[in-house]
Amino acid sequence: DAGVIQSPRHEVTEMGQEVTLRCKPISGHNSLFWYRQTMMRGLELLIYFNNNVPIDDSGMPEDRFSAKMPNASFSTLKIQPSEPRDSAVYFCASSKRERYNEQFFGPGTRLTVL
């Protein structure tokens, strides 16, 4: 059974460029989470979806960040325009919608903005 799939695994881009990170949750999971990991701030939740609907986006740092989940098997996190301070590892995780359920993490995307 495939786990959470993220692409790309590594992304290097220049300041000002648009970046799109992709996530495929585990089949049957209906909650999806985007996290960011940095040395300074650790692991922080950016946004999460239940049944494709954004529930809490209070962690999204600013308007340059946007996330979508057009269907149950796909989500994107877009940064436009990107800045060097966006350099981080971005994780996608999924779980079943029932409360307190275990979240399964993808391998992460390491983003470097030059």
Contacting residues toward another protein, per CB under 8 A? 31, 33, 35, 42-45, 48, 56, 89, 91, 93, 99-105, 107-108, 110
> Strand (E) positions, 9-108?
10-13, 19-24, 31-38, 42-50, 53-56, 65-71, 74-79, 88-95, 104-105
Q: Least Å distance between CB 93 and another protein?
A: 8
CB of 33 to another protein, least distance (A): 7
Cα 75 to Cα 57: distance, rounded to the nearest angstrom: 14
Closer to another protein by Cβ: residue 81 or 103 = 103
CB of 64 vs another protein, minimal distance in Å: 22
Please count the residues of the chain.
114
Looking at the Cβ atoms of 14 and 44, the one nearer to another protein is 44
Residue 52, both tokens: 């494709």
Specify which residues 50 forms β-bridges with. 31, 53
**Is the CB of 82 or the CB of 108 nearer to another protein?**
108
For another protein, give the closer residue by CB, 55 or 114.
55
